[in-house]
Amino acid sequence: MSDHRDIVTESRTLTLQAAVFRALRDRGLEPELSDILAGRVQPADALEAQMFRTLVGTAIVAHLRATIRLEEFERRWVYRVVDAACRRHERQQQRRTLNRRATVVAREPVALVSTSTATATTVVFRRRIGDSNG
């Protein structure tokens, strides 16, 4: 009996995971297996991004509830997976933006400026204290 319960629990978990990943891909996000282990994800840096996360999570939970009965811990898990996938997407967008800015700055012509530099060498002689032999 225990084996049957384990199989049912595992198949439910895998089905839920596959449904969430499919829903995230449909919304233009790229979920990874590491997202399912997400504990607590940082809130978004901007209100718009946080609202996007909330809307995506709510839409996915509503979609899943239409087909299966979600427990409270499963609903929280879905929100964590959505937050993790969105967080990674936000970081990728920030990197792309920074790379574009760096490319634009690198393409701008740089004015050549000649500067003169002087190098000073200081030699210090130490005076020995002692007899004439050293």
Per-residue model confidence as pLDDT tens digits over 80-97: 999 999 999 998 888 888
Per the listing, tokens 């060498």 go with 121
> Does residue 131 lie within any of the structural domains?
no
Q: Does residue 73 belong to any structural domain of this protein?
A: yes
Beta carbons within 8 Å of 79's beta carbon, 6+ residues apart = 57, 61
Taking 90 as the threshold, does the pLDDT of residue 129 lie above it?
no
Round to whole Å and give the CA distance between 34 and 19.
Answer: 16
60 found inside a domain: yes
Domain membership of residue 121 (yes or no) is no
Q: How far is CA 10 from the centre of its chain?
A: 28
Please check whether residue 64 is in contact with residue 16, taking contact to mean a CB–CB distance below 8 angstroms: yes
> Which one is predicted more confidently, 28 or 134?
28
The answer on pLDDT for 31 being more than 60 is yes
